[in-house]
Structure 1
Amino acid sequence: YAQIWRVQVGRIPLYLLDANVPQNPPHLREITSQPYPDDRRQRLIQEMLLGIGGMRALRKLGIDPTIVHMNEGHSAFAGLERIRVLREEQELTFDEALLLVMASNVFTTHTSVPAGIDLFDPGLIERFFSPYLPSLGITLEALLGLGRRDPKNQSEPFCMNILAQKLSGNINAVSRLHRKISQRLWHDLWPRIPEEDVPINYVTNGVHVPSWVSQEMAETYTRYLGPNWSEDPDNVRLWNRAMEIPDEELWGVHERRRGRLVAFCRRRLRDQLLRRGAPTKEVEMATEVLNPDALTIVWARRMVTYKRPLLIFRDLDRLARILDNPERPVQIIMAGKAHPNDLEGKRLIKEIISIIKEDPFRQHVVFIEDYDMDVARYLVQGADIWLNTPRRPDEACGTSGMKAVFNGALHFSTLDGWWDEAFNPRVGWAIGRGEVYKDHEYQDDVESHAFYTLMENEIIPLFYKRGPDGIPREWVAKMKAAMKELGPLYNTNFMIQRYMEDYYLRAHSYLKDLTAEGKEGIEELAAWYRRVSKEWKGLKVVKVEQESPPELEVGDQLKVRALVDLGTLRPEDVRVDLYYGPLDPFGKMKRREIHPMELMGKEGELYVFAASLPCSESGRFAYYCRVTPHHRRLIPTHYSLGLLVTWG
């Protein structure tokens, strides 16, 4: 049993499931008491409640969504529940219901790190899902196969992310770089196509600007961007007006927020020391820590190894010289939490505290405990520099820096997550140039050196380059440039618009076409897919011929034809493409283009397909003939398009 809580978040109702009800025995009442438990049994029950229970809760509330968006693999069982309902209510086979669910499921993967992906022992799946299998109409082996890279590998654990991808026809990552990492991570689900063709696109995360912008900054935006700026934050013309904010006014707002951040940190630090029973003298010193006029750098996020909070402490002498400069003072505020069972995360916090409690760091570096949304607001609203140090490419997106930018902070980060696509020298700074190292120690040395060098040679001089009025005009110009260029792109309005146009509406349109004739369209597609899957092994590309000379000039036509043995398949069952592109010095395609080949007729038992395209640039090129299944109702990202592929 579970009870449903409704939270009204602005105009949006948020429904929460709670297992702490009298009808449940004690061990089940605890299911929703803690997220991410180590107990795999409890974790599996949580995800059953989220996916299966979540869909049943919506039905109880009279909500029957056309499109279901599953975020991360935790919710993947929702797809199975949708299949069960379709089988029960529309009397579909599992294969038919699967096609319908795939057409209307959107799945977003949020992690770049394999350790962040839920895996379950097959025995645990068998124990909890055996009673559920008859309603799905499949065997245990078939269910386990849906959660495996290799369905035939009996020892492979059951992966929730794989299940979600196999139940979804629309898959995306959460940044441009994360898309590439996800394509690499999940390439073996589509093993017969190149990595860059894996059908995972991306929608970069964004932040809800009104939730994070300070009251003073919001009032400034109202004056210069217009009274409706918060309703239209993805409007490019609106953010162009940021350039019209007077330097004096923008800098004044920012300095006041920095002063409030310093006051907040002093209060929190004093409370932390009192809780620990620190000596009176040490508690009194907390009221003088930090400088409200100093360049303030903030590092705040989850304490995990790949985020590298210790990177800035690799050369303590050099860091001390940067911080302890009476003419150009610099200070660092750190905050973060480790998972209760993450011993390495706790070690990182302990090491940071051991460093900063000693001179000369104790007056210039503080660590704020109990990091939460309230703490985060003070930090993003008062920082001059928002520092992020993840080891590329482990940060899927990261949004804390976006929140800071809307408050006038400048972002300083390795080229990972969102910063890989957002960075340019006008809006912030980058540590490194996007290199990836096998030797992590060497990488940390190189990138910590880059951090110190940029601080010494660019960031600190720019911040303290003041005119007679004390305003750092060039720094303020950079703040405005960041607002103007990043503002329209990294907010939730723009993000939701991308989801709506690229995923929800397309999926809805496809689903509408698939069900236009009731069950007939689904039954016909499922029967076609079974036939093509069975007969595909008889297909062969016998020969690919270039009808034009081997060397061509720009403007000439490249003419290629392919002889294809379709076996028992029909021409309308397949799509034949010319897959071509320029080569790099190592003989690998730098990019690829896909040009359809037309059916020209038959030569004996072989079908002839041909293509002609103009040569628009010079260099070495390669091309292939690619044959894939084709049906007007087949989902373009169906995983069969990575399995049923023949090349020539």
Structure 2
Amino acid sequence: MPQSSFALPYKHPLKADKKYKKSVAYFSMEFAIDQSLKIYSGGLGFLAGSHMRSVYALKQNLIGIGMLWKYGYYDQDRRMDGSMEPQFREKIYHFLQDTGIRFQIPILGKQVWVAAYYLPPDVFQSAPLFLLTTDTDGNDPQARAISHSLYDADATMKVAQCMVLGIGGARLLEELQYEPEVYHLNEAHAVSALFQLYKKFGAVESLKKKVVFTTHTPEEAGNEKHNIQFLEGLGFFSGLSLDEVRKISGNAGDVFNHSLAALSMSRKANGVSKLHGEVSRNMWKSFSGIAEIGHITNAQNKTYWVDKTLEEARLNKDISKISVRKKELKKVLFQTVADQCGKLFDPEVLTIVWARRFAAYKRPDMLVWDMELFTKILKNTSRPVQIIWAGKPYPKDEGAINTFNHLYYLSHHFSNVAVLTGYELALSKLLKDGSDIWLNTPVVTREASGTSGMTAAMNASLNLSTFDGWICEFARDGENSFILPVAKGDDINKQDSQNLLTILEKTVIPTYYKNQEKWGEMVLNSMNDVSQEFNSDRMAREYYEKLY
């Protein structure tokens, strides 16, 4: 085994602020730290990336543990007809350091080598980050492939990935001779770490004192579950007997619920918005012995996301300057629209953006459910609008990919509609900067938090949204945002669709064109209201105060 180039035991390279001296290891399947480091898919990664940047700014004693995905999530390309096609291309990062650390863990009935790479904090002004990979010498092709693509579609490979993050992350800390005071699981992907740690600490109460858990899943059915014998065969439980596993994890039968295990083996847990905390407590209330579930509302890193000129104008209450700068930023976004779609958008025209992961519950195509009214709005030359869609579906989600492609083909009929590919950090920033309206359409209670609207609001875009997730803590309808009434009954899709198009036609568009003073006031209110409460510095502080 090669010698580690790391001086052991590991010492955190930053001097911690006295308020944040408690040492934390933060496990996450994805981190969106920078556009150039493509190890993320969407919201969970964006959230973790902002968290790591605030850790750096606040001088907190926290390190991140994640995965080095050889092909990233995927590259969102186009086929010959312009429809979406996932591509998997190798990524090589010269700014990562090879720690020289190599160790083996049992997965799939064999010993699999795991290598550790390191992102120093000064590269992107983030927490120190350790990234694990199985794509290393000594492994056969199957073992190497474990760390190829984020969220592999094959169940066995997906569990193996979780084991590298969990068991591998716990083993990495042993190799580093670094024992944090807190182990923080960001979602349940790394829950296998807890069985490894249980063997180390010897008692579940000793383990629970050190573990906290953040859940992002607002529906019980959405939590990862597998047959317990299947997991045992893969080595998920680090050699513990199934009787012992059931006893400490809260899972009584043959179905192993990963989130239930994380809740049963943690001392504290949190949802990611006030509403999600309530939904989570209600969802898990029938289970005894689980951690208390509070809430810490998600946030995004203002330093990274905000346009400096817009921020100066906000601080000076200069609505006119905000408007001027917004049009400049729209021109920059529209260069990408022209490049990808061959359409020339006008910075004077109201621009609506829907951009996030394509998933059925987020209802990306709600605007076109009533094609007659949609067409009427799009063809109105006296009060024109421009609409942009962007976002990555899961590469095996045919329904979501079909929705993306349907919108793309539909866009051919309108010179003022664009569907963009490559929704990653860089394009996300352009869209936040260049949108007037940030459209958010999830089924209410299905979006645990959502964060894209936060960074849009930081950059003078108004949220038009259903009343869900973080929006419930932010929105003042007609003052800092436009909010759909909560639909009731059996036809919520029809109600939400009609309400969206009505609010757009009767309120949003007339305000933009007939009452710019009101629009400017709403934008300034929105920027002020999002500025502190939804900046990840607040969130990172609350994790220390409420969870750690």
TM-score range, shorter chain: 0.7 to 0.9
1:413-424 pair list within 5 angstroms: 413-424=465-476
- Deviations 1:457-481 (CA, angstroms, capped at 9, x unpaired): 2111111125xxxxx2221111111
Q: How far apart, in 2, do the equivalents of 1:410 and 1:62 lie? A: 48
2:163 to 23, 48, 59: 48
SS at match of 1:171: strand
Return the match for 2:445 from 384, 393, 396. 393
Q: Which residue matches 1:5?
A: 117
Shift, 1:185, TM fit: 2.1
Q: Does 1:491 align with 2:535?
A: yes
Helix, strand or coil: the match of 1:363? coil
Q: 2:370 aligns with which of 303, 315, 330?
A: 315
Q: Distance in 2 between matches of 1:13 and 1:339?
A: 29
Structure 1, residues 273-304: CA drift from partner, whole Å, max 9, x if none?
Answer: xxxxxxxxxxxxx243x322110000011111
Structure 1 position 198, deviation (Å): 8.3
Look up the match of 1:305: 360
Which residue does 1:119 correspond to in 2? Answer: 225
Alignment partner for residue 389 of structure 2, among 327, 334, 342? 334
- Whichever residue aligns with residue 351 of structure 2, its letter is T
Q: Deviations over 1:170-195 (max 9, x none)?
A: 0100011111221222222139xxxx
Distance in 2 of aligned mates of 1:2 and 1:205: 31
The alignment status of 1:354 with 2:354, answered yes or no, reads: no
Displacement after TM superposition at 1:131 (Å) = 8.4
Letter of the 1:408 counterpart? A
Q: CA RMSD in A?
A: 2.0
CA distance 1:409–1:220, change in 2 (3 Å): closer
List, as ranges, runs of 4+ consecutive aligned residues in structure 1 with deviation greater than 6 Å.
Answer: none
Separation (CA, whole Å) in 2 of partners of 1:385 and 1:479: 10
Judged with a 3 Å threshold, the aligned counterparts in structure 2 of structure 1 residues 415 and 130 are, in CA distance, closer, same or farther, namely closer
The alpha-carbon distance between structure 1 residues 189 and 339, as it changes in their structure 2 partners (threshold 3 A), is same
Corresponding position: 1:457 with 2:510:
no
Q: Deviations over 1:327-351 (max 9, x none)?
A: 2111110001111211111121122
The letter for the 2-side match of 1:37 is: D
For 1:111-510, list aligned pairs within 5 A.
111-129=217-235, 132-133=238-239, 139-149=241-251, 151=252, 153=253, 156-190=254-288, 199-214=292-307, 218-221=308-311, 223=312, 242=314, 244-269=316-341, 286-288=342-344, 290-358=345-413, 362-425=414-477, 426-432=479-485, 434-437=486-489, 439=490, 442-465=491-514, 472-504=516-548
Structure 1 position 20, deviation (Å)? 0.6
Deviation at 1:148, TM superposition (A): 5.0
User: What's the CA shift for 1:147?
Assistant: 4.4
Partner Cα distance (1:287, 1:455) in 2:
23
Contact 1:243–1:480 (CA under 8 A) maintained in structure 2: no
Change (3 A) 1:486 1:220: closer
For the residue of structure 2 that corresponds to 1:189, the secondary structure is coil
SS in 2 for 1:341: coil
- What residue is the counterpart of 1:545 in the other structure? none
Letter in 2 for 1:372: E
For residues 228-263 of structure 1, the C-alpha deviation after alignment (integer angstroms, 9 at most, x for no partner) is xxxxxxxxxxxxxx3633222111111111121122
Structure 1 residue 65 displacement after superposition: 0.4
Tell me if structure 2 keeps the 8 A contact 1:393–1:436.
Answer: no
AA aligned to 1:429 is: F
1:190 is matched by which residue type in structure 2?
A: S
Whole-Å separation in 2 of the counterparts to 1:309 and 1:443: 15
Over the matched positions of the two proteins, sequence identity in percent amounts to 29
Q: Distance in 2 between matches of 1:166 and 1:454?
A: 44
Matches of 2:343 and 2:487 in 1, distance apart?
42
- Maintained 8 Å contact 1:207/1:490: yes
Partners of 1:52 and 1:145 in 2: how far apart?
Answer: 20
Amino acid at match of 1:474: K
Is the Cα contact below 8 Å between 2:296 and 2:539 reproduced in 1?
yes
Residue 232 (structure 2) pairs with residue 107 (structure 1): no
Question: What's the offset of the Cα at 1:36?
Answer: 1.4
**1: distance between equivalents of 2:264 and 2:278?**
19
Matched with 1:548 is: none
CA contact 1:385–1:409 (8 Å) conserved in 2: yes
- Give 1:169's aligned amino acid: R
Q: Secondary structure at the match of 2:129?
A: strand
* 2:452 partner letter: S
Asked if 2 retains the 8 angstrom alpha-carbon contact of 1:431 and 1:450, the reply is yes
SS in structure 1 opposite 2:139?
A: coil
Partner SS state of residue 505, structure 2: helix
SS of residue matched to 1:205: coil
Question: Do the aligned partners of 2:310 and 2:460 also contact (CA within 8 Å) in 1?
Answer: no
Q: Distance in 1 between matches of 2:512 and 2:228?
A: 57
**Cα distance in 2 for residues equivalent to 1:381 and 1:315:** 29
- What TM-score comes out, normalization by structure 2 length? 0.75
- Mapped pair 1:15 → 2:134: no
Distance in 2, matches of 1:123 and 1:396, equals 31
The question of whether the paired residues in 2 share the 8 Å contact of 1:146 and 1:162 is answered with no
Q: What CA distance in whole angstroms lies between the structure 1 residues aligned with 2:508 and 2:327? A: 17
Tell me, yes or no, if the aligned pair for 2:367 and 2:500 is still in contact at 8 Å.
yes
Q: Distance in 1 between matches of 2:269 and 2:377?
A: 45
Letter of the 1:384 counterpart: D
3-state DSSP of counterpart to 1:464: helix
Matching of residues 621-640 of structure 1 within 5 Å: none
**How far 1:383 sits from its partner (Å)?**
0.5
Q: Distance in 2 between matches of 1:397 and 1:198?
A: 20
- Tell me the TM-score normalized by structure 1: 0.64
Work out the CA distance in 2 between the residues paired with 1:219 and 1:325: 32
| Preserved CA contact (<8 Å) 1:333 1:367 | yes
Question: How far is the alpha carbon of 1:369 from its aligned partner?
Answer: 1.5
SS at 2:147's partner residue?
coil
Q: Name the SS of the counterpart of 1:417 in structure 2.
A: coil
Letter paired with 1:248: S
- Partner Cα separation in structure 2 for residue 430 and residue 219 of structure 1: 28
Aligned-partner residue type, residue 432 of structure 2: V
Quick one: distance in 2 between partners of 1:219 and 1:364?
28
Higher-RCO chain (CA-CA 8 Å, sequence separation at least 6): 2
Helix, strand or coil: the match of 2:146?
coil
1:430 partner letter: I
Q: Identify the residue that residue 66 of structure 1 maps to in structure 2.
A: 181
| CA distance in 1 between partners of 2:364 and 2:285 (Å) | 31
Q: Which runs of 5+ in 2 are unaligned?
A: 1-112
Question: Distance in 2 between the 1:495 and 1:130 partners?
Answer: 32
Contact kept? 1:112, 1:395, Cα under 8 Å: yes
Distance 1:220 1:480 in 2: 10
Separation in structure 2 between the aligned mates of residue 4 and residue 27 of structure 1, nearest angstrom: 19
* Letter of the structure 1 residue corresponding to residue 214 of structure 2: T
Whole-Å separation in 2 of the counterparts to 1:377 and 1:132: 42
| Separation in 1, partners of 2:343, 2:367 | 25
Greater Cα radius of gyration, structure 1 or 2: 1
Q: Counterpart amino acid of 1:84?
A: K
Number of equivalenced pairs? 432
Q: In the aligned structure 2, how far is the partner of 1:334 from the partner of 1:73?
A: 30
Assess, with a 3 A threshold, how the Cα gap between structure 1 residues 341 and 115 changes in structure 2: closer, same or farther: farther
Kept in 2: contact 1:148–1:157 (CA 8 A): no
